[in-house]
Amino acid sequence: MRDEDKNAFTEKFFTSTDGLKLYARDYRAASRDINRLPVICLPGLTRNSRDFHELALLLSQDAASPRRVVALDYRGRGMSERDANTTNYNLAVECADVIAACAALGIDRAIFIGTSRGGLILHLLAGMKPELLAGIVFNDIGPVIEPVGLMAIRDYLNRDRKPLSWSDAVDILKENYAAAFPVLAVNDWQNMAQAIYREQNGVPVADCDPDIAEQLKTIDFSKPLPDLWAQFESLRAMPLLVIRGENSDLLSPQTVDEMAKRHPDMVQIMARGQGHAPLLHLGDIPDTIRMFIGKLS
């Protein structure tokens, strides 16, 4: 990260309802406008607020309509405290943490961007506290998760090979994802590695509680995965943008089609040359997000 980028956000800590110290990045708009809704970014299963850095810069420093952007670290990820009770790494608890974050940061209504796990949390949030939601962006996620995609995530997170250096971390990412992400440049892979790993004793390590990855080993893939169509129904009246990676193995075109049937006003975009989950600052994705959120303020 460039030194000037570090000044673009404020580090905020707050406390969950069960006493954990949790973390968020708060990107204040370049010029304040109290009439613009903030954007809250929710990352994937083992990911963190750093995934949204480039997009947060684009939105908070937009010349025409800058707005506040908040990116969260769930419990056990990034700068947030790890939970001794690992059963708390679940959607309901993490949804409650999002609600606690909004209260602590003085946000009573926002536009939410949910990548993967973040989108699943938003399905629950629509039922638990719908008044928070002014609009939703799903990044490569929907009510149905394809087993092959989830198995790939399980295998990647529980792989035996661990990076020995930052260049090794980039190589591992390319080995696993280059085929699904042909559009990524050298700096994109480097930024992805910096977002996923943190340095410990001179070696990159995954920046999350390893018990989160262990949970995936308990899934019985011989049985159908539960879906969230019932929860999706509560989103029908909310503005919705769905981004699907062209090469995604987690969100199928069939699921997106069914989402569009159930939510006729849904906007959708394909992230060309990307898999699960798309980087949101590439291609025409930022302009699409800008146009979508611009209609909601």
* DSSP symbols for 143-187: S---HHHHHHHHHHHT-S---SSHHHHHHHHHHHHTTT-TT--HH
According to DSSP H, which parts of the chain are helical? 3-6, 53-60, 91-104, 117-128, 147-157, 166-177, 186-196, 210-216, 229-232, 253-262, 285-294
Least confidently predicted of 112-126, 154-168, 179-193: 154-168
Least confidently predicted of 32-36, 144-148, 177-181, 201-205: 32-36
* Rounded Cα–Cα distance for residues 68 and 39 (Å): 6
The burial of 62, by beta-carbon neighbours within 10 Å (0-12 exposed, 13-18 middle, 19 or more buried), is given as middle
CB 78 within 8 A of CB 207: yes
Half-sphere exposure of 223 (CA within 13 A, CB side): 6
How much of the chain exceeds pLDDT 70, in percent?
97
The predicted pLDDT at position 1 comes to 53
Look over the chain and give the mean of its residue pLDDT values, rounded to a whole number: 94
Interval 6-32 mean pLDDT: 92
SS3 at position 52: helix
In this structure, the chain runs to a length of 297
Nearest to 52 by CA among 155, 137, 153, 172: 137
N-to-C CA span, the chain:
30
The predicted pLDDT at position 121 comes to 98
Q: How confident is the model at residue 35 (pLDDT cuts 50, 70, 90)?
A: confident
The yes-or-no verdict on residue 107 having pLDDT over 60 is yes
The predicted pLDDT at position 34 comes to 63
Interval 36-65 mean pLDDT: 96
Please give the model's pTM, rounded to 2 decimal places.
0.96
The predicted pLDDT at position 33 comes to 56
Residue 222's alpha-carbon distances to 90, 92, 103, 249, 254, in angstroms, are: 21, 25, 41, 18, 21
Distance, C-alpha 268 to centroid of its chain: 17
The alpha carbon dihedral of 204, 276, 114, 279 has a sign of: positive
Q: How confident is the model at residue 3 (pLDDT cuts 50, 70, 90)?
A: very low
* Rounded Cα–Cα distance for residues 239 and 136 (Å): 6
Nearest to 295 by CA among 65, 33, 115, 102: 65
The yes-or-no verdict on residue 2 having pLDDT over 60 is no
* Per-residue model confidence as pLDDT tens digits over 239-272: 999 999 999 999 999 999 999 999 999 999 999 9
The amino acid at residue 257 is D
The predicted pLDDT at position 132 comes to 97
* Per-residue model confidence as pLDDT tens digits over 122-146: 999 999 999 999 999 999 999 999 9
b/e per residue 233-255 (b: at least 16 CB within 10 A): eebeebbbbbbbbbbbbbbbeeb
Question: Taking CA 25 as the corner, what is the angle to CA 130 and CA 132, rounded to the nearest 5 degrees?
Answer: 10
Q: Which residues sit opposite 197 in a β-bridge?
A: 206
